[in-house]
Amino acid sequence: GAVVSQHPSRVICKSGTSVKIECRSLDFQATTMFWYRQFPKQSLMLMATSNEGSKATYEQGVEKDKFLINHASLTLSTLTVTSAHPEDSSFYICRTGSGGADTQYFGPGTRLTVL
């Protein structure tokens, strides 16, 4: 099956810094990437949908200037949390899958802790 990698797996940063999370599809071309956020004991919340070569589509309530998404190639999408604050501490997960696929491939997730 398809493999999606995510880096870093864990990151601890100071408030006010920016953090970049990378999501790579290792053996297929990912034209679409979904970014989710999950707070403890809560479900995955869709943040945005990125398409290769175009601007990301953000869900209602997600600040596009704070969560910058870049999908410049078919194998790499990045999420940058700018000026991170403690309330941004969460588990961030990317997911991809072709339009007709019955399965969807998640990255292993990134645990962000903002002090």
Should residue 111 be labelled a site residue for other proteins when binding is judged by CB under 8 A? yes
Q: How far is the CB of 110 from other proteins (least distance, A)?
A: 10
Question: What's the closest the beta carbon of residue 93 comes to other proteins, in angstroms?
Answer: 5
Nearest to 26 by CA among 51, 2, 7, 50: 2
Among 85, 108, 113, 115, binds other proteins (CB under 8 A): 108
Residue 15 or 59 having the CB closest to other proteins? 59
Nearer to other proteins, 19 or 37 (CB): 37
- Which residues in 29-68 contact other proteins (CB under 8 A)? 34, 36, 41-46, 49, 57
